Structures are given as C-alpha cells and as structure tokens.
Amino acid sequence: MNVIEINNLTKYYGKERGIIDVSLNVEEKEIFGFIGPNGAGKTTTLRTLLALIYPTSGSATIFGMDCIKYGTEIKKEIGYLPSEVFYYDKMKVIDLLKYSASFYKKDCSKRIKELTEIMDLDLHKRIDDLSFGNKKKVGIVQGLLHGPKLIILDEPTSGLDPLMQQKFFELLQEENKKGATILFSSHILGEVQRLCNRVAIIKEGKIIQLEKISALQENNYKKIKVQTTANLDQDYFNIEGVSNLEEKQNIISFLFRGNINSIMKKISDIEIANVWIEEPDLEEIFLHYYEKGV
Amino acid sequence: MNMFLHELKAYRKSAITWTSALVVLIILFLSLFPSISKEAEEFKKILEGFPEAIRIALGLSVENIGSILGYYSYIFLYISLVGAIQAMNLGLSLISKELREKTADFLLTKPITRTQIMTYKLLSAVTSLVITNVFYLVTATIMASWVEPNEYSTKVFLLLSLTLFFLQLIFLALGIIVSVMLPKIKSVLSISLGTVFAFFIMGALVSTTGDQTLRYFTPFKYFDFAYIVQNSGYESSFMIAAIGFIAIAITASYYIYSKSDIHAV
C-alpha cells in the first residue's frame, strides 16, 4: 500500500521554478529519502504535501486522501519537522509541547516525557534561551509526540551533534519498526544511505532517479584501486566501462561499470602488490548523476 | 479552544498596555472638565478666536464645550484615535505575526484548517478589544459622573463611548485584510500609525468640507458626535457602511488566507 502518491506535481512561484512534474510513491512502513542539493525542490515538494503551499498542477494523496482537500484529516497522523525550527519564543518548552499536543485528541503526556528524556531536553527553559540544536530537539519531540503514522522531515539533522544524530536516528528506526512511514529530505548522502530503503534524487525541480538504495549502490559500479609493483602506464586500464582514472604513486584508481570478469582478467595479467575493490558510496554515484546531468 | 486561549495570552501584554493608555487618557481628559466647564464662557471666547475651519476640523463645537456630553464628544476624537491604532495593530499582527516569527509552519501542520485558525484568531482579537472597551467604559462612566454632578443623558454617553468599539472593529478588519494581502509586513506599528493618521487627517479635512459622501471614506467620520448627541442614536446609513465594510473585509481575508502559499523561511 502506498502511503504517499505524488502524481505529476508541479509548482511555480510566479515564474520561478519550484518543482516540475514530480511523481513518486512512498510505500507503507518505508523509510524514503529525498536527496538533492539546495534549491532543487525538496522543500517545495514536502510543503505541498503538507498543504502549506498549493500546487500549480498535479496532485498528491496521503493515506489515499487528497493532500489539499483532506489536509486537516491527514495532518492528524503526520509529524513534521521543518529544516529550521521556530517556535513562540516566550513560551517554555513544556508549554509549547503541551500546546502542540492539544491539537491532537489524545493524551500525549507520557510520550512527551519519554521523548524529552531520550533527547535530553530541559522542559522548563524558555524557547528563546535555547541553542539552535536544542530548538531542533524541541522540534523532534514536537513532531513525534502524537505517535504519527507518517513522519515528514526536512533536513532533520542540521544543527544536531553526532551523538544526538545517532539517538535521533535510533528513534526514527524505532518509530519505523512500530509502523511509521518516514519521508525525509537531505543533502547529506551518508544519512540517507544509512536509514533509507529507497531514494529519489531531485535536480532542478525534476526527479532524475528513483531507486532502491541497494540498487543504486549495485548498479554495477565498483571502485577499484590497484597497487602495481612496477611502473605501469595507467592507460593499461583505459578500457570500456572505466571512468575517473587516476594514478598516484603506483596506485591506479578508477570506477568500473560493466562485466566484472573483463576487469578481473586485466588485473590478473599484471603483477600487482595490492588490490582494493569497493562499493562506491552514494556520494560518488550521486556526483556521477549530477555531472552527467541525466 | 486551545488556540483561542493561546492567542488571547499572546495579546495580553499589548492589550494591557493599550487599555492602560486609554484609561489614563480618559481620566486625564475628564479631570480637566470641571475647570473648563467653570470657565466655559472664557473658554468659548478663546475658541471663537480660532478660525472656523480649524474648529470644525478639530471637532470643536463652541456652544457645547461647557456640557459634559459636548466636552466628551470633543475629547473622544483623541480616544478614538488611540483606539484605532490599537485595533489596526492587532489586525495587522494577527496573521503576519506567525509569518514574521516563523511559527506559521508549526501551526499550519497541525490538524486544523486555515478557516479555523482565522476564526480563533479573530475571536481572540475581538475578545481582547471587548475587554479593553469594558475597562474603558467603566472608567469613563465613573469619571463622568464624578466630574459632572448634574443630570446628563447616560444613554448618549454610552452611545458615544460605544463608537470606540465599532471604530476598533472597522480598523481590526482593515488591519486583517491588509495583512493577508501583504504578508511580508516587517513593521506593524509604522503601517498602522501611517494608515490611522492618514484616515484621521482625512477625517479632519472632510469635516471642513461638510461633504456627506466623503464621510464614507474615513471611518473616523462614520459616527458624527453632534448627531448622536442630538438624536440619541447612530446614522443608519453609516452603520450599514461600517457593517458592510467589516463583512466584506473579513470574508475576503478568510478567502485570501485559505488560498495563499505559506513560504518557507
């Protein structure tokens, strides 16, 4: 079952491009990553889903309901964390969380307590006395306190220290295990790689690739480094499927895509001191997509 | 309900400030009344020295300055000026505050429609104006009966005082419609001061021309104090104009607000 279905969603801000013809589905209980550089249209897509902005054309459904028409109904089950969190400065953390909880017709006090303990948050400070990272924590608790079925996060980790990031990811994975679907945008590929099942890559307002993380990594790319014993012309490896060929102090490195046997034969024909064959990380693949401008 | 209370709390400080200003102002004004009424004749002579146009622009009618109602309708012009600024401020910040303080994302991702948000905000704004008016009215009534021991029409006094509330509703509606049409308002006070003073000055100019149609263009002239004193009632055509304006402005605000994009910070 699809929790989110986006069909040919297009948004222009006047004449300025937001997103063009974005279509994608997020399945139930999936962690879906949405990656692209700043200004690519990640936030625009998420804000349209939340009916904060209205699409120019196309539509989207959440839980099978139109996200604009049934926005209020849908939002009962959504937890949202914006990339920059701002709250009523003069309120205390606890009052803000209680105010947030009061919009949902359920008792959230237990969950508030649990979450603030995990996030190590001081409930009795005023919002404007909090650091950026601590405000973000308030945002996280605020987004999760009603046990939403769909969690939408816009660049969730900016401003969190690595330790908190770790805790936060664990929290998300736990929510996911309990049945929550998670959609989050990021330009940090490491975190997408770590958490997500599937990703969509967005560039200049258009989706350029929609893939399972595993497929994206497979895609038959191998990162190969060969340390040779004797000086070897790097052009030796310049065969079809090889890219990013470099040589540094007898170490030749390149990316290879194609039949793995052909490159293995090439390697076995020469004297080598060492060889590394690695999965390229998403970052490298990603750059590849961007450079080629698929 | 939660939102209503939250909003009410948010305006508490400014409501207290403006209410105190109005209360202090009316106490000051009315405490001057005994000395003015005692020397009404002298006062009239000074006023008659003023060019007529200026007297009319300031809303001074020389014959009545010695009576509490005449005096009250004169000073009330300044009370309504302060009240209008309060209401316009409130109306302008109602929606734009959430954008300026960047809390719109928080509110609008809650399971609540924009229509509900507008309704709660509107209700809390009107409530805070009602509270201001109650305090003002009580103070003004007590002060008036204290400085004027003689009999006077409390009905007319009440009718005059209530125009503060009506005028505030008009400026509240004006503030709201301006804020949904220009969502990127940076400084609320400068816009509200500018608008209110513009209408105030326009009101003064309109009085000098005596043109009835021009009166429709400035809320300050919707309530002719001399007419109220004479007839113990409001002019129905202007009441209809006021109600019409409020209704249109509020309806349009609901519509624009529910259709507009809430941009990211």
pLDDT digits (tens, 9 = 90+) for B233-242: 999 999 999 9
Q: Which residue out of B105, B112, B114 would a mutagenesis test of the A interface target, given it has the greatest number of A Cβ atoms within 10 Å? A: B105
DSSP B220-252: GGSS-HHHHHHHSS--HHHHHHHHHHHHHHHHH
Residues A107 and A175 in one domain: yes
- Give A87 or A283, the one with higher predicted confidence: A87
- Rounded to two decimals, the pTM is 0.84
What is the count of structural domains for chain A?
A: 2
Tell me the pLDDT band of A294, cut-offs 50, 70 and 90.
very low
Residue B264: inside a domain:
no
Same domain for A140 and A127, yes or no, is yes
* pLDDT value at residue A119: 87
Does the beta-carbon distance from A71 to B263 stay under 8 Å?
Answer: no
Chain B residue with CA closest to A42: the answer is: B264
Domain boundary at A217, A251, A281, which? Answer: A217
Cα angle value B74/B79/B80 (rounded, 5°): 95
Statement: residue A43 has pLDDT above 60: yes
Q: How far apart are CA A286 and CA B249, in angstroms?
A: 51
Task: Dump pLDDT digits (tens) for B205-258.
Answer: 888 887 888 888 889 889 888 888 888 899 999 999 999 999 999 999 999 999
B103 and chain A in contact, CB less than 8 A: yes
Interface A-B: count of C-beta contacts within 8 A? 62
Give yes or no for A128 touching B (CB within 8 A): no
Question: Last residue of a domain, which of A217, A234, A267?
Answer: A217
Query: Are B262 and A52 inside 8 Å of each other by CB?
Result: yes
Alpha-carbon distance A155 to nearest alpha carbon in chain B (angstroms): 13
Q: Is B111's Cβ below 8 Å from some Cβ in A?
A: yes
Residues A15 and A147 in one domain: yes
Nearest CA among A28, A52, A6, A49 for reference residue A200: A6
Q: Kindly determine whether residue A103 and residue B259, on different chains, have CB atoms separated by under 8 Å.
A: no
The CATH number of the domain holding residue A88 is 3.40.50.300
Number of domains comprising chain B: 1
Nearest CB partner across the interface for B109, out of A73, A75, A83:
A75
pLDDT band with cut points at 50, 70 and 90 for residue A152: very high
Report pLDDT digits (tens) over A199-248. 898 888 888 877 777 776 666 678 888 888 877 777 788 888 888 888 88
Range of the domain at A208: 2-217
Q: Which of B1, B7, B109 to mutate to test the interface with A (most CBs of A within 10 A)?
A: B109
- Domain residues for the domain of B14 are 2-259
- The backbone torsions φ and ψ at residue B183, rounded to the nearest 5 degrees and listed phi first, read -70, -15
Contact B102 A86 (CB under 8 A): yes
Q: Tell me if A73 and B111 make a contact (CB, 8 A cut-off).
A: yes
B/e letters for B207-228, b = 16+ CB within 10 Å, e = fewer, are beeeeeeebbebbbbbbbbeeb
Q: Assess whether A208 and A250 both reside in one domain.
A: no
Domain shared by A204 and A230, yes or no: no
A100 contacts B105? CB cut-off 8 A = no
Q: B262: which 2 tokens?
A: 């809430």
**Together in a domain, A188 and A234:** no
